[in-house]
Structure 1
């Protein structure tokens, strides 16, 4: 019987011999490769965190001692060791295991940390809370994969530094992708020396000896205080040369490391020292190798198989390939074309250069491309500065991450009237990454920003036209949003009328169907189905969603029923905005909004989730037909809150 199959919880790890632990690590890697190759997911980070996670569970008492993963995609091994190994073939599938920590799955998952850089704030608060309650628990935050580039991490460290009694261990999982490579290389070369220094620094006798020396030297007349300052400065200088820990010791936080993150004995020793140290928070710096144990990942220099779809578990080659052009590719190509003729255009991203399509622009214009790390707030405020200097920044991020920089969008860009374009990839329902990654909040946020102009293109031509228009807007923010889907076929309008594209017109229209973005294709199908039932219908694409076109408000008042379809949250969405604008303009319109209900949506396939939400052409056409012919019947459960 394989060792991994016998692990039902962390306690099962504590009786294993060293040889068995090595075998277990091998089995975990084999299981990760086999399962994630079939389901897709974050493979590289977890292959690098195997020994680290085993050691954590052997030293700390989870779930009594909370383990908080930042980011949460490095928690697969943790899931395996806490009783979920037998369900790993369901990873990221509907009804299966989440790709992130999930409190619904296990008591061992304290924080569903699927956005980066928040773990230290959680950990500081929890450690402080347990202390106030008199509970001797140790909180452990595992920080890696770029999380240290986020500003919240440093805000938390600033406060942790003034909490000398916190039982808090911060594990820096340094896999070469969260620190500058030069610093990572230094840490690796000084591994042995760093361990020896760290063991001394966290010894309570060392602290007591330092205190005695300080008192004795400072009592020496005349030269005492200068002598101590000289000694302290020399000690600090030596430490800064010997190990990459100066910034932590300056904060007053004890530092252990650098540790070989694949040496179980060294890891356990470091974690035991950190756990037993009663002088406050301790940082344990572990050097790990992303993608370790999978040759294809180790050789993939770009991202070490950070996230993969279904792949061959031997070669690492994708099992499915698609020649379909994506929104991301179309954006990237058009931005590079614009950049060749307009040297004012610069590109900014937050650790998402390749996923947001900026690769081609960066290749041609490296001096005009800025990747700021996982720091969306800085990205947007920096964009405001670039705009103020006379350039036109294009900020390319995932729609869900706009949440993190809303204040900067509102107060730094919009308030100052700076011309910055936001390109929001992965808008709407995204699928397997779940609640935190669905891009369903951006429309409500964008609608709050005075003067913002928003385009939601329905096909590649409209995307190109929108981007060309946005980079010419220099008196305020503009935005473009699109999904992760392949590009839909081009939809040619029947005619263009007052800023609206009329896509379908049948009979004497009683129903107006408004479809934004690629949901315009769904709106056309809904319109055609209504026409088959003999219902007069007009389908329009507003092209520009914000501010609400005046022609759309007038059209809404000229129809008996208005159906709006959007790939975003309903509260504060485009449909509700249209209904509000109609009321403000004194236009009587029966507007029924269809979109994503205001609740957290679990992971699954995009198509499956949209079907569950009744966001398909067939279901919407049926609801519309029943509304017209039967006088407002009961709505489907998932759309009940959309029809007032």
Structure 2
């Protein structure tokens, strides 16, 4: 096999020397590189396969880092990383000490900003574009925004504030819209005309001429503009963007590098702001991903020969157990509704969508709307279940406070991916929800196995509860050891109890597995410890506070940010009850967590068994426990 053209591309400047045929070859090689590497490491596949040509064209026309490219969402940045000197690091993509799956300025000067959540690129780009103008700096700022991000409101908030920025380009990467052949052909022809210098020169000359014609000049110019607007609206609904101040161009074939380059060069030589509408195919070049891009959006390591249909129940996990349990409850109670924010499969709600489609709502990438929408449903007697990843629930905190909690609306929050999440790094960790929900006094439950998830979901959906409440559970499947404890239906349980123990280890969810391992190791060192599993995290029951007040040393471990966490609430409650023992709080002290396995993250944060053992031993050595 001969040398690959890709091997000669180490920086964006290397792209500029290629001819048209070489560019096509390079795009094919990038696709093959992505397939081979992501199939080994996992990562975001379909979205990256869809933007190969667009990314190549951007780097052939622009000069980063002087020009800025802001990706929304950042998981479509793999080709960008390949072209900016990181091709050799893809064997450790999203692994400890490897490259991130998202843009990160700490990793490369070519990455304009970190981008793990959606809807942010336009606001960021507007800020960068204004900073360039204020500093009198040259360069274009480009926001590459997927059509999914346009389901979130922050994009439109940004559009309302472009202020005639002449150094701003917004690219809509549209991989959903389908254009019929006739309309598409006409649109492509007009786009070709609109992206030539001759077109803009003629347009300016006509405007200038009409401005000088007395009486009829101004009305005629207005009529011509209105006719063009009506034609574009009939073809591809572009006027919304032009009404907001953009010069709209498109749709453009997102897999035709030559057309993309010509369009981008024309835009760069014209004052903006511009809005470029690009049509791409998600999963381009890999047939299984083209047919079912949702299943290949984010993948673990996989066999290139194919993956299962997402409509078929995937491997059992907390998400699928939740999804099936919600279907059962939905069968019993016609008031139950399920709401997700563009994560139907990720949250296991595809089962509810199939069984109760009229009560299933995917609101798109709009977590704020999801929560207030749920409040509206609840105010009229429905029982909405809002299922959102922990990291994305952060975006709706004001709505939880103002629209749900103030009137105590009957809304259930199902918080997926709670706790540590592997590979995606600091932007996707579920380490804040116990802290921010406990500030509201909201009942919060954390099952450690499937039986507890089934039981407590049923309870939270029953008449036993009213008002906002939440249940949180980790990514992936249950721990085998924790599954053996089953479900007692109690708010907390003793998993280990010794007659002479003056130390208790306390935690919740899958951190309990590390706690049990720590207890075994301490027992081997002749240090007896009890172990308590908390299921109801907040508010605390009086009985639990009384039970825990009997110990001289309490270690509380949690996959949560330390400030404002359950551990801090617990220590205060114990002190208010008159307890004056030694409280060891093991939690997340640095929110910038590595993209790594969960075990590696626990080790880095001191939440693995070895660190827990060490913390207890230090307390004992200091003589703060009378054994």
Task: Please classify the TM superposition score into its range, dividing by the shorter chain length.
Answer: over 0.9
What are the equivalent positions in structure 2 for 1:455-604 lying under 5 Å apart? 455-472=445-462, 475-489=466-480, 490-492=483-485, 499-604=491-596
Matches within 5 A, 1:246-257: 246-257=239-250
How many equivalent residue pairs?
A: 617
Deviation by residue 1:587-635 (Cα, 9 ceiling, x = unmatched): 43422111222331010111122123332224313431342244369xx
Q: 1:193 aligns with which of 184, 189, 211?
A: 189
- 1:624 counterpart = 2:626: no
Cα displacement string for residues 485-528 of structure 1 (whole angstroms, at most 9, x for unaligned residues): 3112424389887x432221102231122121222333333334
Structure 1 segments unaligned to the other structure (5+ residues)? 634-644
SS at match of 1:384: helix
CA–CA separation in structure 1 for the residues paired with 2:38 and 2:486? 43
1:28/1:226 CA distance change after superposition, 3 Å: closer
1:239 is the counterpart of 2:232: yes
Tell me: CA distance 1:315–1:504, structure 2 relative to 1, closer, same or farther (3 Å): closer
How many angstroms apart in 2 are the aligned matches of 1:194 and 1:117? Answer: 30
Aligned counterparts of 2:180 and 2:389: Cα–Cα separation in 1: 28
Alignment of 1:26-41 (within 5 A): 26-41=28-43
Q: Does 1:352 align with 2:349?
A: no
- Output aligned runs, 1:297-316, within 5 Å: 297-299=289-291, 301=292, 303=294, 305-315=296-306
Deviation at 1:376, TM superposition (A): 0.5
Q: What is the CA-CA distance between 1:296 and the residue it aligns to?
A: 2.3
**Pairing 1:424–2:415 present:** yes
1:169 corresponds in structure 2 to 169
Alpha carbons of structure 1 residues 323 and 239: separation in structure 2 relative to 1, 3 Å: closer
8 Å contact kept, 1:138–1:169: yes
In structure 2, relative to structure 1, the CA distance for the partners of 1:211 and 1:452 (3 Å cut) is: farther
In structure 2, the partner of 1:436 is 427
Q: Which runs of 5+ in 2 are unaligned?
A: none
Task: Pick closer, same or farther for the CA change 1:189–1:506 going to 2, 3 Å.
Answer: farther
Secondary structure at 1:159's aligned position in 2? coil
Alpha-carbon distance in structure 2 between the residues aligned to 1:525 and 1:496: 24
In structure 2, the CA distance between the partners of 1:447 and 1:249, relative to structure 1 (3 Å rule), is same
CA displacement, residues 22-43 of structure 1 (integer Å, 9 cap, x when unaligned): 1111111111111111111111
TM-score (norm 2): 0.92
**1:493–1:503 CA contact under 8 A, matched in 2:** no
**Cα 1:59–1:531 shift into 2, 3 Å:** same
The CA deviation string for residues 216-248 of structure 1, in whole angstroms up to 9 with x for no partner, is 47x35xxx8877665543332122113331111
Residue in 2 that maps onto 1:639: none
Q: 1:192 to 1:568 in 2, by over 3 A?
A: same
Change (3 A) 1:315 1:393: closer
One of 258, 265, 268 as aligned partner of 2:261: 268
With the length of structure 1 as denominator, give the TM-score of the two structures.
0.90
SS in 2 for 1:467: helix
Q: For residues 283 and 289 of structure 1, do their structure 2 counterparts lie closer, same or farther at Cα, with a shift above 3 Å needed?
A: same
1:507-559 Cα shifts (integer Å, max 9, x gaps): 22311221212223333333344344444432222321111222222233221
Q: Is the 8 A contact 2:72 2:121 kept in 1?
A: yes
1:209 is paired with a residue whose SS is: helix
| Cα distance in 1, alignment partners of residues 342 and 19 from structure 2 | 40
Q: Deviations over 1:2-46 (max 9, x none)?
A: 211101111111111111111111111111111111111111111
Residues 313 and 504 of structure 1: CA distance in aligned 2, closer, same or farther (over 3 Å)? same
Q: Is the 2:282–2:293 contact (alpha carbons within 8 Å) kept by the matching residues of 1?
A: no
